[in-house]
Amino acid sequence: MGNSTSKNTDYSNLSSSRVEDTVLCEYVDLAAQSMGSTIVRASDEFFGAAANILKPDAVKHNDDDDTVADGELDGWQTKRHSNRDWAIIRLGCEGTITGFDIDTTNFRDSSPVQVKVEAAVASEDLKDDDFDNWKWTTLLPDVAVKPDTHNLFLIRDTDELYSHLRVTIIPDGGIARLRCFGSVITKAAESSSEPLDLAFIGNGGHVVACSDARYGKRPNILMSGIGNGPSDGWVTQRSRLKNRNDWIVVQLGTSAVLKEAVVDTTFFKGNAPEAIAIDGCYSMESDPDLDVGVEWVQLVAKQRINPNERQAYAIPSNEIFTHVKLTVFPDGGVQRLRIIGTPKKLPNPTVTTEIIQTTEVIVTEDLEKPDVKETAIVEKVETITTVERDISPKKKVSSSINKKSATTAKSVSKKGNKRELVVEAAEEEVVSVTNKRRGPSAASARKAPADTTEEPMLANGETATTPPNKRVKRNL
């Protein structure tokens, strides 16, 4: 059916009774209904709709060994003797795919023998419903699946973006749920001029670090809706240490001026935090902890939070932020975090380049032959490039992104008992160039040390702007 190419990837079956026991729990379920994923077409839905495999709630395991009649299972189930039934899923957001959970819970006799998963990206040249002519890439090539269990598959080295999945069950039967783990890649938020929830996964927000995620998966806090219970949020273990608190760092979909934060503790009644606080920063690093010049700014001061309630906090700031950090005191769980803001890019940085050219004359003498002196001319060229970018009316980032120096000299013989007598600067030239650089620079997000704005120092301890006639001769 349609064009299909097999991707040479290394995949492995990680079958387990708990999805949380694998590395896949760190990723987002791109096929979740809360992401906006839908079934667009299926070859057969005789005993169960294909849309059932996208349900957010997990299937309750049935320990009854009695045979369950066709059509009574919670999942997608086709009629018998179909031979390769398929369903096409439109993912709510384009993204890269890391692995799958093909859940056959309660499907024993009716579980398929094998499952094939293909992926494609929507093409502008083809119609949305012309799936037969799409270029499909095989991610799982007719892999064997076990009945009544989670069949977990890890896909390695896949960085392509996909928007659709085609799931084929062989020869027939059904599956309960399908989870497609990956990372959302979107630039929709960058082009918006309206306030958005920039922490939402669908708008490019994602968790880059957290202190603990014992009982809930980290990405859940950025999903849409309110979930089905505490396990669909971010939950930490109980703190037994004094002055300990838990935190989670979120990179927003794009840089923005923030107006409101919403912390939702729905379903968290006896296990909600006592208090919360929110900070923000601007950094070009994905994880601000890698940015030595980052500065966190308080957005929401520490205050008590009510359990089982959705609470909004105004953010009175005109600064631009890329990351937020939610801190819970001392522990507990949060169902959802919303960060409402208007996307805004920083102005193009001002790039200043200084080219410092110096010429030094070094005179040496031989102690055994006082009348013999040798002269060497040393030419030095140093290039210093700095970037200045306004982050807010109160802050400016200035950093040196390029510093090059070159030295050329006439060779001088220094055999024997010789010493350098005089170092003189014969001439000097400083050239400054100011221009605009298009687009952000990775180094422009870091604050330079305080001495980067001072005048460059030459090798003899004088500044580049000291006139030659004021140079001090010194004996070496």
CATH architecture, domain defined by 189-343: Sandwich (2.60)
Distances (CA, A) of 318 to 255, 342, 411: 12, 10, 59
Residue given tokens 């670090």 in the structure block: 209
CA dist., res. 273 & res. 265, Å (int): 9
Q: Where are the domains of the chain?
A: 3-184, 189-343, 350-470
Q: Side chain identity at 356, as an amino acid letter?
A: I
Could you name the CATH architecture of 3-184?
Sandwich (2.60)
Distance (Å, rounded) from C-alpha 440 to C-alpha 433? 19
Please report which helix (H) or strand (E) contains residue 167, including its range. Answer: strand 162-170
- Domain 3-184 identical in fold to domain 189-343: yes
Distance from C-alpha of 301 to C-alpha of 276, rounded to nearest angstrom: 8
| pLDDT tens for each residue of the chain, 476 residues long | 556 555 544 445 544 334 444 456 668 889 988 788 999 999 999 999 999 999 988 888 877 656 677 788 899 999 998 889 999 999 988 999 999 999 999 999 899 999 999 999 987 666 666 788 889 999 999 999 999 999 999 987 678 999 999 999 999 999 999 999 988 888 777 778 889 999 998 888 989 999 987 776 788 899 888 877 887 889 998 988 888 899 999 999 999 999 999 999 999 999 999 999 999 999 988 899 988 889 999 999 999 999 999 999 999 999 999 999 999 999 999 999 999 999 998 776 677 788 888 888 887 777 777 777 787 888 888 887 776 656 554 454 544 545 555 656 554 444 445 555 444 444 455 555 555 444 333 333 333 334 433 444 444 444 444 444 444 443 33
* Cα–Cα distance for residue pair 378/358, rounded to 1 Å: 8
Q: Would the pTM of this model clear 0.85, i.e. be above it?
A: no
Residues facing residue 422 across a β-bridge: 363
Q: Whole-angstrom Cα distance, residue 176 to residue 190?
A: 37
Show the CA angle centred on residue 283, arms to residues 281 and 288, nearest 5°: 80
